[in-house]
Amino acid sequence: MNKTANTIISGTGISLPDTVLTNRDLEKMVETSDEWIVSRTGIRERRKLEKGLSNADLSEAAAREALDRAAVKPSDLDLIVVATVTPDHPTPSTSCLLQTRLKAEKAAAFDLSAGCSGFVYALTVAHQFISTGVYKNVLVVGVEVLSRFTDWEDRGTCVLFGDGAGAVVLTAGEGGRGIIDFSLHSEGRGAELLMIPAGGSAMPASTETLENRMHFIKMNGNEIFKFAVKVVEENLTLMLKRNGYVAGDLDHLFLHQANLRIIEHIRKRLKLPQDKVPVNIDRFGNTSSATIPIAIHEELIAGRLKNNSLVAMVAFGAGLTWGGLLMKW
């Protein structure tokens, strides 16, 4: 556990595709309704990346804004970590494509795959380098282009996901501000609950995998729902307790935006008011590793996230993975 609290977020940025896909649009594509989607998920619309653009385009736009706001030059970056499950290519990493676009010559770069927990995992990894004094400036991007892996004939999943990116620049800070604690977990026995079966070495692309639609997201939503409501509260409560806090001390709780019912369930269990638990799933759907950095950026720009606020983030997703992070903003 790191008690030095010396890794701060000094700039944020986001990038969302212009194209909006509403529930009414989806009604024309699959057997669904606006009423079902809103009542079961809280989603009203999501963004879909335009043809010809890719993960690296969203990453670059979010990263440039975060760097500008942090007043950090790309040439001063020591490390770039891109959290994503929808990279431009299986290899090389999207982070390397981003590194060259930004001309961040001295930065090491790698992608991190931890499903929807990717951003929290990546922040934690970046924090290790900064808190040990090895690196001074790290760029972390949470980004997904899930629309390219969505089965637009499967109403059980196609209404849920969206595309987008959020980026943060981490720097060494002084005083009491910064990351206080983190708590990362995984449970590989749940791997099949949420996966893209084909396209890797276990099931390489073939005519058969294409015909069977195996390159798209397959999900057991009910099981993920039950897992999420259990582990998010447990993880957060434990992390708060071991640092001498209770949920009521939180100024902001950023939860992964997978379903409004999950968010509301946790918020009510923790007895937190709505204004402390930001929601953007209604506008962007589930953008996986991008949901939390997008929400953080929006709160910051709206002037609601103040220095020294007590902030927690908790995410969960494919793997299965889950992770929390506690910080003084």
Note the residues at the interface with ligand UT7 (CB under 6 A).
32, 36-37, 40-41, 116, 155-156, 159, 194, 221-222, 224-225, 228, 258-259, 286, 288, 317
What gap in Å lies between CA 19 and CA 195, rounded to an integer?
26
Catalytic residue among 6, 137, 235, 286: 286
- Minimum CB separation of residue 210 from ligand UT7 in Å reads 24
Q: How far is the CB of 250 from ligand UT7 (least distance, A)?
A: 22
127, 252, 256, 297: the catalytic one is: 256
Whether residue 92 is preceded by a cis peptide bond, meaning omega within 30 degrees of 0, is yes
116 is known as an active-site residue:
yes
Through-space distance between the first and last CA atoms of the chain, rounded to whole angstroms: 18
CB of 259 to ligand UT7, least distance (A): 4
List residues bridging with 195 in a β-sheet. Answer: 218
List C-alpha distances in Å: 274 to 50, 174, 278, 290. Answer: 33, 31, 7, 21
Q: Which residues contact 149 (CB under 8 A, 6 or more apart)?
A: 86, 196, 215, 216, 217
> For residues 40 and 136, which CB has a smaller minimum distance to ligand UT7 in the complex?
40
Which of these, 19, 62, 37, 58, lies nearest to 145 by C-alpha position? 58
**Nearest alpha-carbon partner for 92 in 109, 78, 68, 71:** 109
Q: How far is the CB of 32 from ligand UT7 (least distance, A)?
A: 3
Minimum distance from CB of 160 to ligand UT7 (Å)? 6
Per annotation, catalytic residue among 116, 127, 252, 259: 116
Residue nearest ligand UT7, CB atom distance? 221
Contact 129, 143 (CB under 8 A): no
Residue 44 or 101: the one with the smaller Cβ distance to ligand UT7 is 44
Q: What is the largest CA-CA distance in the chain?
A: 58
Closer CB to ligand UT7, 120 or 180, in the complex: 120
Distance, CA of 289 to CA of 316 (rounded, Å): 9
23 is catalytic: no
Give the Cα separation of 169 and 152 in Å (integer): 35
Rounded CA separation 18/216 (Å): 23
Q: How many Å apart are CA 77 and CA 224, to the nearest integer?
A: 37
Q: Determine whether 256 is an active site residue.
A: yes
Q: What single DSSP character describes residue 231?
A: H
Active site residues: 116, 256, 286
